């Protein structure tokens, strides 16, 4: 008897997901822990493993569907049940043997009713009964979508460039599709003056010209909801200032080759993260959240700095845990690993949780000041712009200094302007005297 495989609980707070890829077909033999589909939930994509084994008899969702936790996604005939049913199928044929025993008894009589041995004929039908279930998947398999051999990153890359993996012959081991196979299709489409992407089923016109309509990705829906929540519940104020990072840049330039030899790219970001983490320890109100229903302020005794990373799928904010306890080399190493994991999709929903403060780096793209929106339930966010050389009065002289633009947005329900200014001043103090960061505990 077929059992229903339902979408399990993926992570705390996740109730549904959009189906990005179905990795199995009807007729496939399913194993325990085998990945059956890829889902986009919140800001992460996850693979759903099976907790049953057997033969898949039905798939109850399709690519693009939104499915909820507890919803039936597969029907599976358990392997144990299939094995147990096999003897039951042949059991009716057993009575045919006693029929053959009667002729044995009659053989002792003068009349030789050998004809009754004919009842043995029911034995041949047993073969079709056994073979029929095995043949069924073979008949349906050709009409089903073939599951291609490709890793999660390759599947995601193919979707982003609009390439159908079903049309590609993989050049990797055992026919596995690799990145170069997808790029080859894209290049061929470009040379032909067209596109290898699948045509949008939403192509239409709005009366003024052609348009195309696509379903909003789950990640963009999540970002939209979070931004609306922040905008409508959090009265935001933004302070702007600059940090003289001339000395910091000199240290960075003198150290980057040594870091590079160890496989670490040293940017100014690790210094900023460390400066923020140390300042948060001295300004707990900036590292807190509000519970208005209970009338409480929740002060976090840990410092987890969220780092906003720009990806092709949208803005993702993984959390750097206990940043105040890390040295500059550790921060630099973990930042590089986090960025690689996020952009390749190799991260979990838990990696995005637990932040107490967020840093957004606009300078990597360009721009100076902005008014970043707070990542609630956090109460503050710091945006760093692109550093640029400016004339600055130092003592009685005007000198050219490298200045880093900073924009601090904060929740005015909890944080007053004075508290925000003191916090930002301490961050600037660390950046302008980087030796303090190197010696900070």
Tens of pLDDT along 166-202? 888 888 887 888 888 888 887 776 566 544 444 444 5
Q: In whole angstroms, give the CA distance from residue 160 to residue 152.
A: 12
Q: In whole angstroms, give the CA distance from residue 90 to residue 201.
A: 50
Q: Which residues are catalytic?
A: 412
Per-residue confidence band for 252, with pLDDT thresholds at 50, 70 and 90 = very high
**Burial group, residue 423, by CB count within 10 angstroms (0-12, 13-18, 19+):** buried
Tell me the two tokens of residue 129: 């009964």
Closest to 411 (Cα-Cα) out of 354, 366, 373: 373
Closest to 34 (Cα-Cα) out of 21, 46, 20, 48: 48
Q: Is the pLDDT of residue 136 over 90?
A: no
Average pLDDT (376-405) is: 94
Q: Is the pLDDT of residue 14 over 80?
A: no
**Using H for helix, E for strand and C for coil, what is the string for the chain?**
CCEEEECCCCCCCCCEEEEEEECCCCCCEECCCCEEEEEEECCEEEEEECCCCEEEEEECCCCCCEEECCCEEEEEEEHHHHHHHHHHHHHHHCCHHHHHHHHHHHCCCCCCCCHHHHHHCCHHHHHHHHHHHHHHHHHHHHHCCCCCCECHHHHHHHHHHCCCHHHCCCCCHHHCECHHHHHHHHHHHHHCCCCCCCCCCCEEECCCCEEECCCCCHHHHHHHHHHHHHHHHCCEEEEEEEEECHHHHHHHHHHHHHHHHCCCCCCCHHHHHHHHHHHHHHCHHHHEEEECCCCEEEECCCCCEEEEEEECCEEECCEECCHHHCCHHHHHHHHHHHHHHHHHCCCCHHHHCCCCEEEEECCCCCCCCCCCCCCCCCCEEEEECCCEEEEEEECCEEEEEEEEEEEEEEECCCCCHHHHHHHHHHHHHHHHCCHHHHHCC
Q: In whole angstroms, give the CA distance from residue 308 to residue 43.
A: 12
Q: In whole angstroms, give the CA distance from residue 231 to residue 168.
A: 45
- Options 4.10.320.10, 1.10.760.10, 3.40.50.10860, 3.40.50.300; CATH for 148-202 is 4.10.320.10
Phi, psi of 290 (to 5 degrees): -115, 140
Q: Is the pLDDT of residue 152 over 90?
A: no
Q: Do the beta carbons of residue 69 and residue 16 sit within 8 Å? A: yes
Q: Do the beta carbons of residue 260 and residue 381 sit within 8 Å? A: no
Per-residue confidence band for 114, with pLDDT thresholds at 50, 70 and 90 = very low
Q: In whole angstroms, give the CA distance from residue 248 to residue 250.
A: 5
Closest to 9 (Cα-Cα) out of 53, 36, 49, 44: 49
- Tokens 């924009």 belong to 407
Identify the pLDDT of residue 145: 53
Share the mean pLDDT of the chain.
80
Tell me the two tokens of residue 1: 């008897």
Tell me the two tokens of residue 347: 């991260």
Tell me the two tokens of residue 348: 């979990």
Q: Is the pLDDT of residue 97 over 80?
A: no
Average pLDDT (336-359) is: 87
Q: Under CATH, to which class is 220-439 assigned? A: alpha beta
Q: Is the pLDDT of residue 216 over 90?
A: no
Tell me the two tokens of residue 287: 């590292």
Instruction: Specify the range with the lowest mean pLDDT, choosing from 319-323, 344-348, 413-417.
Output: 344-348
Residue ranges of the domains in the chain? Answer: 1-143, 148-202, 220-439
Q: How remote is the C-alpha of 260 from its chain's centroid?
A: 29
- Options 2.40.50.100, 1.10.1270.20, 3.40.50.150, 1.10.10.10; CATH for 1-143 is 2.40.50.100
Task: Report strand pairing: 44-49 vs 35-41.
Answer: antiparallel
Q: In whole angstroms, give the CA distance from residue 16 to residue 9.
A: 9
pLDDT digits (tens, 9 = 90+) for 42-64: 657 778 888 888 999 999 998 88
Tell me the two tokens of residue 270: 């690790």
Identify the pLDDT of residue 83: 58
Task: Report strand pairing: 16-22 vs 66-68.
Answer: antiparallel
Identify the pLDDT of residue 221: 81
């Amino acid at each position: 008897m077929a059992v229903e495989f339902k979408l399990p609980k993926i992570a705390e707070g996740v109730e549904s997901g959009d189906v990005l890829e179905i990795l199995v077909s009807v007729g496939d033999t399913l194993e325990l822990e085998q990945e059956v589909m890829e889902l986009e939930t919140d800001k992460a994509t996850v693979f759903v493993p099976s907790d049953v084994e057997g033969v898949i008899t039905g798939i109850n969702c399709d690519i693009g569907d939104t499915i909820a936790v507890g919803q039936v996604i597969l029907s599976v005939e358990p392997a144990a049940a299939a094995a147990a049913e096999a003897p039951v199928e042949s059991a009716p044929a057993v009575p045919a043997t006693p029929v053959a025993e009667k002729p044995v008894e009659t053989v002792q009589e003068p009349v030789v009713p050998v004809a009754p041995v004919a009842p043995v004929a029911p034995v041949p039908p047993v073969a079709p009964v056994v073979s029929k279930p095995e043949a069924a998947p073979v008949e349906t398999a050709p009409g089903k979508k073939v599951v291609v051999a490709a890793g999660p990153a390759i599947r995601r890359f193919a979707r982003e460039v609009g390439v159908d993996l079903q049309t590609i012959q993989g050049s990797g081991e055992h026919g596995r599709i690799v990145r170069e196979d997808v790029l080859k299709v894209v290049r061929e489409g470009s040379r032909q003056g067209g596109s290898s992407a699948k045509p949008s089923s939403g192509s239409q016109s709005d009366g003024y010209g052609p348009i195309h309509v696509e379903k909003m990705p789950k990640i963009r829906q999540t970002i939209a909801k979070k931004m609306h929540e922040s905008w409508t519940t959090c009265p935001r104020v933004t302070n702007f200032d600059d940090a003289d990072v001339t000395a910091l840049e000199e240290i960075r330039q003198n150290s980057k080759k040594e870091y590079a030899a160890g496989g670490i790219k040293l940017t100014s970001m690790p210094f900023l993260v460390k400066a923020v983490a140390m300042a948060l320890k001295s300004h707990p109100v900036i590292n807190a959240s509000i519970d208005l229903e209970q009338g409480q302020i929740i002060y976090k005794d840990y410092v987890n700095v969220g780092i906003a990373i720009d990806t092709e799928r949208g803005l993702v904010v993984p959390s750097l845990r206990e940043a105040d306890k890390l040295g500059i080399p550790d921060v630099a190493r973990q930042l590089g690993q986090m960025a690689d994991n996020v952009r390749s999709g190799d991260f979990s929903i838990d990696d995005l949780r637990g932040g107490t403060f967020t840093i957004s780096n606009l300078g990597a793209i360009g721009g100076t000041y902005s008014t970043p929106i707070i990542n609630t339930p956090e109460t503050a966010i710091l945006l760093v712009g692109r550093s640029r050389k400016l004339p600055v009065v130092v003592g009685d002289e005007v000198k050219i200094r490298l200045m880093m633009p900073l924009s601090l947005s904060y929740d005015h329900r909890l944080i007053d302007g004075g508290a925000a200014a003191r916090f930002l001043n301490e961050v600037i103090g660390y950046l302008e005297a980087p030796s303090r960061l190197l010696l900070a505990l």
